[in-house]
Amino acid sequence: MKATKRAFPTELLKARPQDYLLGAVLVCASVLWLVSPTVAGRGAASSARLFHRGEALAELSLDRPARRVFSFETGGLTVEVVPGRGIRVLEANCPAKVCVHAGWADKPGETIACLPNGFLVEIEGEDREYDAVVN
């Protein structure tokens, strides 16, 4: 018995106007999904609180440029604020310099920590975004 090969209907391969409409809707939805967290997401950061071993050292406004040098018994570090960019640890004497490599922090809830010096920068603002909430 000879096997017959069925022909594939070519009309299924042709694009219809509904296909273009569906594609346009999917592209628009994707763009809105990508843009919405940055546009309507969190409130603006207003200040950064600086701590050393749990005690508050200073509160810096993120609207004004500033550079502060801190010296501790374990060493020191330099913090820089640039309006529009945020706050960062510019220099530190810790071995791994994780705090320096953390870069700029500008969103409410973000932190920069220098564990060898016991130093913490926490951004304050209207809204905070959490990764997870644990009871």
CATH number for the domain spanning 116: value is 2.60.320.10
Q: For the chain, what percent of residues have pLDDT higher than 70?
A: 83
User: How confident is the model over 70-98, as a mean pLDDT?
Assistant: 92
DSSP 29-60: HHHHHHHHHHHHSPPPEEEEEEEETTEEEEEE
- Identify the three-state secondary structure at position 25: helix
R_g of the chain, CA atoms, integer Å: 26
60 and 36 share one domain: no
Residue 65 resides in a domain: yes
Cα distance between residue 110 and residue 45, in whole Å: 10
Mention every residue, 6+ apart, whose C-beta is less than 8 A from residue 41: 127, 129
Q: Edge-to-edge, what's the strand order for the sheet holding 75-82?
A: 66-72, 75-82, 86-92
Q: Is residue 114 part of a domain?
A: yes
Same domain as 52, residue 24: no
pLDDT tens per residue, range 102-111: 999 988 889 9
- How many structural domains is the chain composed of? 2
What pLDDT is attached to residue 70?
A: 92
- Say what the pLDDT of residue 121 is: 95
Domain shared by 17 and 62, yes or no: no
**Domain coverage including residue 51:** 45-125
Query: Which DSSP letter does residue 105 get?
Result: B
Reported as a pLDDT band with limits 50, 70 and 90, residue 40 is very low
Mean pLDDT of all residues in the chain?
Answer: 84
Does residue 96 fall inside a structural domain? yes
Residue 35 is predicted with a pLDDT of 77
Predicted TM-score (pTM) of the model is 0.62
In a domain, 74, yes or no: yes
Is residue 4 one of the residues assigned to a domain?
no
24: confidence class by pLDDT, cuts 50, 70, 90: very high
Higher pLDDT, 106 or 8: 106
pLDDT in tens, 43-60: 566 899 999 999 999 999
